[in-house]
Amino acid sequence: MKKFFEEFKAFAVKGNMVDMAIGVIIGGAFSTLVAAFMTNIVNPMIGLIPGVDSLDDALKIVIRKAQVVDGVEVPEVAIKFGAFLSAILTFVILAFVIFLIVKAINGARTKAEAKKKAEEEAAAAAAAAAAAAEPAPEPEPSKEEILLAEIRDLLKQK
């Protein structure tokens, strides 16, 4: 059970999960904004058409008209294509704006990654130039070379 919670914690804390949660919250808030746009701006514009109150009521097939039966009002039964078109339009607006947001975020990430890569390449080039500028220290002579030098020196003395 402990391992299960550790795995869940690792999953929930990953960056993708947090990004998704933020996206859902922003999407919900923006959905409310688009619904208000449709209700308060688009539908009144459609209401300028004579005989139409809103897109929701503009296109519909009435199956049964509203009527009063035994003193009880029975509401109208209709298939509302206008309401469906309104929902599609809301979805398209919402999807387009989220597309623009994601595109902007991806563009910023790409620029940040390119900048980071350029900085890493510049640091690597600077390190390579610094290494090339400094002469390599001469390696210490091996034991054989030291022994041969001593023999040479002894032969010179004789």
Q: Work out whether strand 67-69 and strand 72-74 pair parallel, antiparallel, or are unpaired.
A: antiparallel
Q: State the pLDDT at residue 115.
A: 93
Give the position of tokens 């398209």. Answer: 92
- For residue 63, what is the enclosing H or E element? strand 60-64
**pLDDT band for position 134 (50/70/90)?**
low
Q: What are the boundaries of each domain within the chain?
A: 2-128
Q: State the pLDDT at residue 34.
A: 84
CB 72 within 8 A of CB 54: no
Look up residue 14 and give its DSSP letter. S
pLDDT per position as a tens digit, 35-77: 888 888 887 787 777 777 777 777 888 888 888 888 888 888 8
Architecture of domain 2-128: Orthogonal Bundle (1.10)
The model's pTM is 0.54
CA-based torsion, 104, 110, 113, 118: positive or negative:
negative
What span, in angstroms and rounded, lies between the C-alpha atoms of 68 and 75? 9
Q: State the pLDDT at residue 13.
A: 66
**pLDDT band for position 116 (50/70/90)?**
very high
